[in-house]
Amino acid sequence: ELKVEQNPLFLSMQEGKNYTIYCNYSTTSDRLYWYRQDPGKSLESLFVLLSNGAVKQEGRLMASLDTKARLSTLHITAAVHDLSATYFCAVANTGTASKLTFGTGTRLQVTL
Residues in contact with other proteins by the rule CB under 8 A: 4, 31, 33, 35, 41-45, 48, 50, 88, 90, 96-105
103 and 5 Cβ atoms separated by less than 8 Å: yes
Q: Between 2 and 62, whose beta carbon lies closer to other proteins?
A: 2
Residues 56 and 47: beta-carbon distance below 8 Å: yes
Q: Output 4 or 110, the one with its CB closest to other proteins.
A: 4
What single DSSP character describes residue 9? Answer: S
Closest approach, Cβ 109 to other proteins, in A, equals: 15
- CB of 16 vs other proteins, minimal distance in Å: 28
What residues have CB less than 8 Å from 42, skipping those under 6 apart?
none
